[in-house]
Structure 1
Amino acid sequence: MPDQNSTLRAQRRAETQRMIQAHALRLFTERGYDATTVTDVAEAAGVSPMTVYRHFPTKEDLVLFDQNGRLVAERIAASSAVHPLVRRIGIALIDSAAALTGGGHADDLTANRRFLLARLRLMISTPALRAKHLDNHYALQQAIVDALGDDATDPEDAFRARAAASACLAALHTALVRWAEDDGRTELPEVIAKALAAAFGDDIVGTGPDR
């Protein structure tokens, strides 16, 4: 069936991307970002440089590429419009972080959490990645606005949505830096919730099935 074949291709593509990215993060961590070439990554992953570039158009993408934008957008699109924008966006950021880190106890980091920690450390310590990260910030902001759909079609509504998204993403960035500095010993969703509460008040992130 065409749909099944399409799904299998997407799964294989995602597996190849994750494999290449894992080797890239390991080499960047061991040798340094600037000292590692795309050819080095290709050799470690057992693929050609062309294959690496097919999945990651730039060297920076080997670190910055993730699924967070898609996860956040899906959760915002499914959220209730009765809640304030910052609450809808904040909860989506928390829930997507929970999905990316895979849960678990703080003293037993999962592979997903170690993977995310490696990416964050590189983004924080590498000037070229910090600059490129700003592009990702704008892309995620736009993904959030797009996910709000009819709630952000009017120019004024879109402006408010961008402002809310930008403020929430600033809190997210602060939380990610804190989590990386703490070596992932705390739960990332909890750190994000704490950062959002500091910015918007303790009641901005609710609990329960209707949140």
Structure 2
Amino acid sequence: MSLRDRQRADTRHRIQRQALRLFTDRGYDATTVNDVADAAGVSAMTVYRNFPTKEDLVLYDDFEQLTASTLTALPATGSLTDRIGRTTLAILELAAANEHELLLARLRLMIATPALQARHLDSQFRLQEAFVNAICADDPSLEYGARAAASAVLGVTHTALLRWAAADGEADLVDLFREAFTAAFGHAP
């Protein structure tokens, strides 16, 4: 990553953290993009350049890229569901360890804010597509099975995330995912 790319990522991260803090403190609807820009020390144009919509301030993540790189780095063994489950587990381990509070704040806002609920479905679809594209890169005939497996694992993930949010992030997210995966598929990922 070049210096410019790192600076842009740092700016994006700072803007998103400030947005999440303000949305949590003041409420999503009561916070303007100008409020976020002021808190992050940037112009409103910089906010819009990094986050085209207010919803993106909550929903933006790089999980699609992380999904593809993680899936291809892990052994391509077991069923499609197992491969996607191992990938999801690795991503959740990383997110829970490094971005616990950010992930929890985003999840709480997605659950509580009607404007974000529908857009969240869009991000779920993009994540499903990332799994499908990564799996089908070598074998396009796996598309239907990959889509079904990704949908199923994302449903399990959603269940674990909701339980985690209900426990105020106190429960172990990785354990909740393993428990939900085992309940759905009869074995751990």
Query: Into which bin does the TM-score normalised by the smaller protein fall?
Result: over 0.9
**Could you tell me how far 1:151 is from its partner in structure 2?**
4.9
Find out whether 1:127 has 2:114 as its counterpart: yes
- Displacement, 1:140? 0.2
| Structure 1 letter corresponding to 2:109 | L
Cα offsets for 1:43-89 (capped at 9, x unmatched): 11111110001100110000001122222221211233331100000
How far residue 10 of structure 1 moved from its aligned partner, in angstroms, is: 1.5
Query: How much identity, in percent, do the aligned residues show?
Result: 52
Structure 1: runs of 5+ lacking an equivalent: 1-5, 104-111, 206-211
Amino acid at match of 2:163: R
Q: Find the counterpart in structure 2 of residue 40 from structure 1.
A: 35
Which residue of the other structure, out of 6, 10, 13, is the alignment partner of 1:15? 10
Q: Which runs of 4+ in 1 moved over 4 A?
A: none
Q: Which residue of structure 1 lines up, in the alignment, with residue 179 of structure 2?
A: 194
Number of aligned residue pairs: give it: 189
Q: Which amino acid aligns with 1:132?
A: R
- Superposed CA offset, 1:77-110 (max 9, x none): 123333110000011111101111216xxxxxxx
Correspondence for 2:131: 144
8 Å CA contact 2:136–2:143 kept in 1: the answer is no
Give the 3-state SS of the residue equivalent to 2:31 in structure 1. coil
Q: Find out whether 1:77 has 2:72 as its counterpart.
A: yes
Q: Give the TM-score normalised by the residue count of structure 2.
A: 0.95
Corresponding residue number in structure 1 for 2:143 = 158
Question: Which protein has the bigger helix share?
Answer: 2
**Structure 2: gaps spanning 5 or more residues:** none
The alignment status of 1:29 with 2:24, answered yes or no, reads yes
Residue 116 of structure 1: CA displacement? Answer: 0.9
TM-align CA RMSD = 1.3
User: Which of 101, 113, 133 is equivalent to 1:114?
Assistant: 101
Name the residue aligned to 1:167: 152
Quote the offset at 1:152 in angstroms: 4.4
Deviation at 1:201, TM superposition (A): 0.8
**1:189 partner amino acid:** V
TM-score normalised by structure 1 residue count? 0.86
Q: Which amino acid aligns with 1:50?
A: M
Q: Give the match for residue 102 of structure 1.
A: 97
Give CA deviations for 1:151-174 in whole Å, capped at 9, x if unaligned. Answer: 5412xx201100100000011011
Larger CA Rg, structure 1 vs 2: 1
